[in-house]
Every structure is written in structure tokens, then in C-alpha cells.
Structure 1
Amino acid sequence: MDPKIVDLPEIPVIGMAIDTVPVSPDIPAMWPRFVARMDEIGPVAEPGVSYGVMEGCGPEAASDARLRYMAAVPVTPESALPEGLSRWAIPAGTYAVLRWPFGEIAQGFDFLYRQWLPASSWTLRAGPHFERYGDDFDPRDPNAILEIGLPVNAKASGT
């Protein structure tokens, strides 16, 4: 159940962003509005793949802390930005990536923040956290697997 440590290149994304709080009903409510606009975005870098990208979250964030959440698709550098959508990038770097059931997404983040990270040889680094939904993902299936990614650095020796 431990996450895989991977080095990722920068992942540019285009999507719909909101300011909200962790585990807010605003997040799942936004996805259908974004899905209705996905055909406006192109070219995409990974057909059928989407991301939930979060800034301002982490184990120290209170349940009422504000975060910026974007429902997005990975794009190529030449992808045009449709009106009303935003362009972000998941920075290149090392990430802890956990495969987890969609219906228990909050528990997946909690596991990473409160159990795995403190016991691991990794520390959380600044940067967005993400959810990656593969081309075989079905949002109607609570057992569908997604990936949760946290930006990490190796702990310094002796810590």
C-alpha cells in the first residue's frame, strides 16, 4: 500500500479552477461543468486522462482552510487556452504516487499525510498535489482506481 516514488516531468494542464475547502461538495459538483467543456481543449497530451490539481493543501491544513482546486486535462505547449479556463503546470520533480479507490479518496490523502509520510524517508515539499484519473477510470465506480500524487524530497540524513 506504500506509494511509488517517481520523478515526473512538468505536466502542463488546462482546466476549470475554484477556490474552496478540502473535501467540499463544490469539487465533485464542478467536474460535470468541466467535462462539458473538455472538447474545447486541444491538443491534449494524454487522451482520456484528467487531473485534479490542488494548491494550498496538506497535512497541516485545517478542514476549513482555503485551497485552489482545478479539474484539468494534460496539454501540449501549443494547446490554446479557451475563454474562462485556466492554464497551470504540475512542476517537474519527485512525487509519492499512491494508487487508491476513488470512493475513499479522502482516506487516501489522510493515509499519505498522517501515516505514510511521517514514517517514511520523505518530506513534503511545496507545490501542488494531484489526483490523476487514467483513461480507464469510471467515476460511477467507487472502486475505480486513481492516483494521488504528493511532491516530496528525501529527508536529510539523521532526521
Structure 2
Amino acid sequence: MIGTLNALVELVESDSHEDLDVSGFARTHGTTEYHLRRMFSALAGMPLSDYIRRRRMTLAGAELVAGAPSVLEVAVRHGYGSSEAFGRAFRAVHGIGPVDARRDGGPLRTQPTLRFRLSVEGSTPMDVTITTIPELVLVGHAARVPLIHTGVNPHIQAHIAGIAPEEHLRLKQLSDAEPSGILAITGDIAPDAPEGTELTYLHGVSLDPDAPVPDDLDAIRVEAGSWAVFAASGPFPETLQNLWAATASDWFPSNPWRLRPGPSIVRYLEFTGTHASCELWLAVEQG
């Protein structure tokens, strides 16, 4: 996977004026666009689409400062059909317009070319179980919340706080399938969505596929397949967020599995508010 990501970076550099066929690239490298985008985002700290835009605007800025004949010429060379669209993208990256950059020489924000490296030390063993389960039916109370990568998500906290205590007990009683117990479920989001993107958060449980779903609950159905279950214990939410990062940097590059579309599930085995023992369930398939 590390080699594939570096090849993708090289493609971005060589085709800076064209729309990249990420799906075709993924197929030729024996993976999927979904997995590739998830791994890039997790390891680079930004979505692939953001990286492409930043690199193109970095190159465009250098051309303008060097005395390019016209803004439109630079815009077309980097895949933009109009000066207006190019100007919006340029300003979003550099904070100034292309005409200003051409006249004043900056200031410009540079996005260096990424290089992915894998450091394999084996100093932190990961407790991982691969399990295959039939169709998954997840039911509970859903809300649309923004994606927040670091720290507690106050929107999720507010959603959970708004659920009555007796409703939590009811959900626990409904749980009759793996993963058991109260679950924190996130889904309905692009594989490399930037922070702030809305996603569906479901506070709920897993039901037997044939069990009736109460009319007052939201439901997410997930096809049968394999799941990688990562266990962790420590300060909340840092331990869980670090575990997310470690799956991308340590586990997936070293194992013959890749992510498949599906929600992410967290099962809390013990939770005190500042400390948690939990399992992270990620939908996977053999790579």
C-alpha cells in the first residue's frame, strides 16, 4: 500500500492538468478506490482531493510569480475552464487572488510533494480479530453531525445526552446480535471527506436480520462480510483516535486486507467518561 500511495503521488505530479482516474489507478494496483482514498486521508492528514488542489495551486502560483503570460493560460494548464473557477481555488489555498500573486509575488502557501514511508518496528502489538458475520441490521437514534478528527465531538455528545435514560435501557434489551451492546456507529460519508463534512451518527444496537425494526427507530442495513475488530484501552477519546490512525499506518500496510464500504462501529466494553475499553469494527475484504 505504501508503494501504491507513492505511485499515486507521482501520478498527481505528472497529470497536474487533468482529472485523475483514481478508480482506474486503484484497479491497476490491485486495490479499490474506497480503500485507497481512506488510506491516503488517514496517513496524509488530508483528503486526496485537497492534496491534488493544493499541489496544483502550488505549481500555478510558481508559474504566475515566474511571469506567466496570463492567468487564463495558467488556469487552463491546471485543468480549470475559466479564470473565475481557478481564482476561487487559488484564493482558497493561498489566501490571495492569482492576479495579486502575479503582480506582487505572494505571499504564497506551498504544499510540498508527499512521500509515504513505512517504519516497521513491531513495538506496539495490535489486538485484532477477523470475524465474518451475516447481514447486519443496526438500529437506534440517528443524527447528522459534522466530522471532527481530534477531541470529543460535542454534536455527538449532545445527541446522546438528548436520549432519555429509559431509552438506553430499551436499546440494550433490543440488542440480540453481534456486535452486542450499545454501539456508536458512523456512516454515510465519503472515504476521504474533510473535517466538517456531515455524517450520520447512530446511537444504537445490532439486531438479528429477521427481527422486526421498531417504527420509531432508524435503521442501517449492512451486507454480510468480514470485519476487522481492533481492541484498545486507555484515555478517552485519545486512545480511540490513535487506534484509528494505527490501523492505517501499521495494520493495513502489513496485512492482506483492505477496507470495504460500510459504517464504522465502536463498541464500548467499559466507559467512565475519561477512560474507555473499546472495540473498533471496520468492514474489510481480502486484498
Same fold (TM over 0.5): yes
> Cα deviation per residue 1:52-94 (whole Å; 9 max; x = unaligned)?
11114576232222221101022344445253x3122343211
Q: Closer, same or farther in 2 for the Cα pair 1:10/1:131, shift >3 Å?
A: same
Assess if the C-alpha contact under 8 Å between 2:141 and 2:202 holds in 1. yes
TM-score normalised per structure 1: 0.77
Shift of 1:116: 2.0
Q: For the pair shown, which has the larger CA radius of gyration, 1 or 2?
A: 2
Q: Does 1:6 align with 2:131?
A: yes
Q: Bigger relative contact order, structure 1 or 2, given CA contacts below 8 A and separation 6+? A: 1
For residues 113-143 of structure 1, the C-alpha deviation after alignment (integer angstroms, 9 at most, x for no partner) is 3432233211111111111124xx234351x
Measure the CA separation in 2 of the matches of 1:19 and 1:88.
14
Task: Report the 3-state secondary structure (helix = DSSP H, G, I; strand = E; otherwise coil) of the residue aligned with 1:61.
Answer: coil
Aligned to 1:98: 230
- Structure 1 residue 18: Cα displacement: 1.2
Same amino acid, percent of matched pairs? 22
The number of residues matched between the two structures is 150
Q: Give the superposed CA RMSD.
A: 2.6
Structure with a larger share of its residues in helix: 2
Measured in 1, the distance between the counterparts of 2:272 and 2:135 equals 26
Is 1:129 equivalent to 2:254 in the alignment?
A: no
Q: Which segments of 5 or more consecutive residues in structure 2 lack a partner in the other structure?
A: 1-125
2:134, 2:224 within 8 Å by CA — same for their partners in 1? yes
CA distance in 2, matches of 1:107, 1:151: 18
Contact 1:55 1:129 in 2 (8 A): yes
Q: Hey, what's the Cα distance between the residues in 2 that align with 1:58 and 1:107? A: 21
Aligned to 2:175: 44
Q: Secondary structure at the match of 2:250?
A: helix
Unaligned runs of 5+ in 1: none
Could you say if the C-alpha distance between residues 21 and 120 of structure 1 is closer, same or farther in structure 2, counting changes exceeding 3 Å? Answer: farther
Partners of 1:82 and 1:14 in 2: CA distance: 10
More strand by share: 1
